[in-house]
Amino acid sequence: MNEKEVHPYRRILLAILVLSFLLRAFLVLSGGQNYWPDESRYNKSREAAGALWVGDLPGALRVFYHAGHLLFEVIGVVPATMEIIFAPSPKIPALFFALFSVASLWLMWGIVRRVGENERVALFAVGLLALCSTFLYYCRHLLPYDAAMAFGLLSLFVGLRTPSRAFDSLLCGIFSGCAFLTYNGYWVLAGFALLTHTLRPPRTLAWCLRRAFISGCSFALPLVVLFLLSAAAGVDLLQQFLVSSRMNTQGSFSEGWSLPFVFLWHSEHLLILLWAVALIYGLRESALAYRKEAMILCLSGIFFIYGTLVVFSVFIEKFVVQGRLVRQLAPFCSILAALFLERLWTTFPKGKALVVAVLVLAVFQAALNFRQPLTQVFPTEFQRLALEASGSTEKGKYESVFDHHIYPEPLPAKDAGRTIIRKRHPLQFLPYQYEGYTPDQRNKLRSSDISMRLILKAKE
């Protein structure tokens, strides 16, 4: 591929990154922050930023003496400080953390190039990941998943450098540790990045042990420092980590093997058919000894992550598989699909036209997938609409139904009266139902009309 062919791909990459950020900015500005109870973790960032603003460093440090997604709260001090400077608004941190989602797209480009593929393949991979609904709709919420994903992919990126240096092992371990500390549930991606780096060529015992030792120590070093600092402050952080590791039990352990497929169908729909075909292609090529490095990386990532989720949920019952854990598969599925499209592009007589058709269908499917998140109204916004419609002086004449987060299942609602306003409840966006709900709870959510409604009460 010559230089004239390369530059257009980079310009398209830049366009994808800009459009992806603008899409996420629109999502954030349309609201939805503080819907999930876990978003309250960001309040610790505000507390620490407030302490730092008045020069109380010990007070700021005391905020972070706990195990749950610690680095997310530390990073959150940046947007929390911006809130102090400008004005308090949950949209500021949401926009800040959305940048990590865009960074993951850029890192995909680097990862594909680092395993020896050309810029067209890298562009296919970035474009397909940008079309993933699971990489979009979390961006509006104050949650650690996008930041952790970016650190995990960054660890993988630096760990894939050839030839490998000791400094790369150091960085790989540090960034893997950052992924884990940002969101503990992404230890699977962090572990895969470390394993991939350890097994890089040359695969002699001496080189593998050297990389494993350096990256393992750099991964553990921040944790050891945290344990020592917290112990000096009288906090048993290690015990907190052990307790928090047993807290992800909302949902069903037994569906850990099937939930990834069902969740991805509801979030991506036809896009996972492309992933399935690409997986079959990858397995076939590997069986025929066509073992490109990118192919090995993708297949290893998919089976390592999926297998780990199944073992630790179905067999060990250590944690329940949630949609947010399944999204760790998306980067590897996207790269594998990009390799499949590249094979079509370069091998078959009408391959280019077929690839263009597939990409057009993928864009169309993504537009359908994005529609509900982009138009979703959340309880806070609905309550404001209801107040405007009912008027504060006539509040007793009206009743709001399901204008709140529903867990574990909807309670019977009295629907006696005329509906003034009706909006879809967030949990009618089906991917949200794979965050801590059992199959029975999901059935009750789907068999009930849980739409948010403002009702004019019937006269008794």
Distances (CA, A) of 75 to 46, 156, 282: 11, 21, 38
Confirm whether 402 is domain-assigned: yes
pLDDT computed for residue 456 by the predictor: 87
Contact 249, 438 (CB under 8 A): no
Domain assignment present for 278: no
Helical spans, DSSP H, in 54-186: 57-63, 70-75, 77-85, 91-114, 119-130, 145-159, 166-182
pLDDT at 3: 53
User: Which among 76, 51, 75 is positioned nearest to 61, based on CA atoms?
Assistant: 51
Residue 436 lies in a domain: yes
Token digits for 369?
A: 């997938």
Please report the pLDDT score of residue 434 as a whole number: 97
pLDDT of residue 58: 84
Flag whether 233 is in a domain: no
pLDDT in tens, the chain (460 residues): 555 555 799 999 999 999 999 999 999 999 999 999 999 999 999 999 999 999 998 888 888 776 678 899 999 999 999 999 999 999 999 999 999 999 999 999 999 999 999 999 999 999 999 999 999 999 999 999 999 999 999 999 999 998 889 999 999 999 999 999 999 999 999 999 999 999 998 889 999 999 999 999 999 987 887 777 777 766 677 777 766 766 678 899 999 999 999 999 999 999 999 999 999 999 999 888 776 899 999 999 999 999 999 999 999 999 999 999 999 999 999 999 999 999 999 998 899 999 999 999 999 999 999 999 999 999 999 999 998 888 755 556 888 899 999 999 998 877 678 889 999 999 999 999 999 999 999 999 999 999 999 998 866 5
- Give me the phi and psi of 257, to 5 degrees please: -80, -30
Residue 35's H or E segment, with its range, is: none
Let me know if residue 428 belongs to a domain: yes
pTM of whole model > 0.75? yes
- DSSP H helix total and E strand total for the chain: 20, 3
Beta bridge partners of 419: 455
Q: How many domains does the chain have?
A: 1
Whether residue 156 contacts residue 196, with contact meaning beta carbons closer than 8 Å, is answered with yes
Instruction: Establish if 241 belongs to a structural domain.
Output: no
C-alpha distances in Å from residue 151, one per residue of 45, 140, 177, 190: 19, 19, 9, 8
- Tell me whether residue 24 is in a domain: no
Q: How far is CA 442 from CA 324, 347, 431, 432, 448, in A?
A: 17, 45, 11, 10, 10
3-class SS at 422? Answer: strand
Range of the structural domain that residue 416 is part of: 379-457
407, burial (CB in 10 Å: exposed 0-12, middle 13-18, buried 19+): middle
